Amino acid sequence: MAASSRDLPIVGDSFNVGYRFQRYWDTPMANAFFCGELGAGIFLVAAVIGSMPGMLVGLLLTSLLKTWFHMTHMGVPMKSWRAILRPDRSWISRGLLAIVFYAGFGFAYLGLAWLGLAESMGISESLVTFLKALAFLSALVVATYQGFAMSHSSAIALWNTGMMPVSSLVYALSGGVMVNLLLGGTGMAPGLQSNLVIAGMVMMGLLAVVHLSLLHAAYHGSPAGRKSVELLTRSFYAQWYWGVTWTVGIIVPAALLWSAGGSYAAMLIAGAGVLAGYYSFRVLIFKAGLFEPIMSFRP
């Protein structure tokens, strides 16, 4: 049955049998996903290395830009608060709650720890540390919930895999490592800088594994999944997928970090490449998503 539907065409809004692009989630949602995951990843890495500016950048990126792009996507933005009402049934609701907690606990921690308000208000260090832990856990949910929401979409084979939340987390941490590396600049301690460079190379390897796993799962799944892989690797989007997502976003940064890890110019180019590849992945994963054909066989 799968083989007989492989040669079905991609159709538009007609009643012909074939594959249809999903366009409910497109570039505005890709922007929101990118900003949300990247901000959370920056915060997670910054929290580990103790970078207050990094944590602030991560919080602002998620709470401001992710929210903005989500609001521009919604038909009735003033009713968006209703999405928070059913966390027991939807990853969207869980994610929105996580963003609220992430922003609340995160900004509270920075105010107490970075601005010195804890000492002036007589707040114990253990409570400040507890707030940081809550913000960290909330950021971890923000970095992964969008992948869980996509993986529940059984109608779109490219998304319907457990690798989607893994890809969200790995990309978030990859972007977080590179942005924190750049924020530290030349004033970063040599030991910390070398550790982040090594972490960046490891993340590039993990990204390659994640991509191959996503392609394998989709190609060996349903016919629409195989068609999506063909779109990404051989036809409509191949030049962007191989040129930007892979070459600019993984191969070039890995080579730069390996050969010139101590050079800030090399790190800057590598960081820009990782973010470009990350963004192209977020856009392409939406654009290549196909609904299964109405009929999976021909008479």
Instruction: Note down the domain range covering 196.
Output: 20-291
- Determine, yes or no, domain membership for 3: no
Q: Is residue 169 part of a domain?
A: yes
> Is pLDDT of 70 > 80?
no
In a domain, residue 96? The reply is: yes
- 23 — pLDDT class (breaks 50, 70, 90): confident
Task: Assign residue 126 the CATH number of its domain.
Answer: 1.20.1630.10
Domain presence at residue 142? yes
Task: Give pLDDT, residue 12.
Answer: 63
pLDDT at 2: 44
Q: What is the pLDDT of residues 202-260, one digit of tens each?
A: 999 999 999 999 999 999 888 888 999 999 999 889 999 999 999 999 999 999 999 97
- As for how many domains the chain has, the answer is 1
Q: Where do we find the tokens 């109608």? A: 155
What is the pLDDT averaged over residues 56-60? 96
> Do the domain assignments include residue 93?
yes
Whether 197 maps to a domain, the answer reads: yes
Which of 49-53, 115-119, 175-179 is least confident?
A: 115-119
Angle between helix 163-184 and helix 190-219 axes, rounded to 10 deg: 160
296 in any annotated domain:
no
Residue 93 CA: distances (Å) to CA of 12, 40, 133: 31, 17, 21
Please tell me the predicted confidence (pLDDT) of residue 66.
86
CA dihedral (204, 205, 206, 209) positive or negative: positive
Residue 299 inside a domain? The answer is no
Rounded to two decimals, what is the model's pTM?
0.88
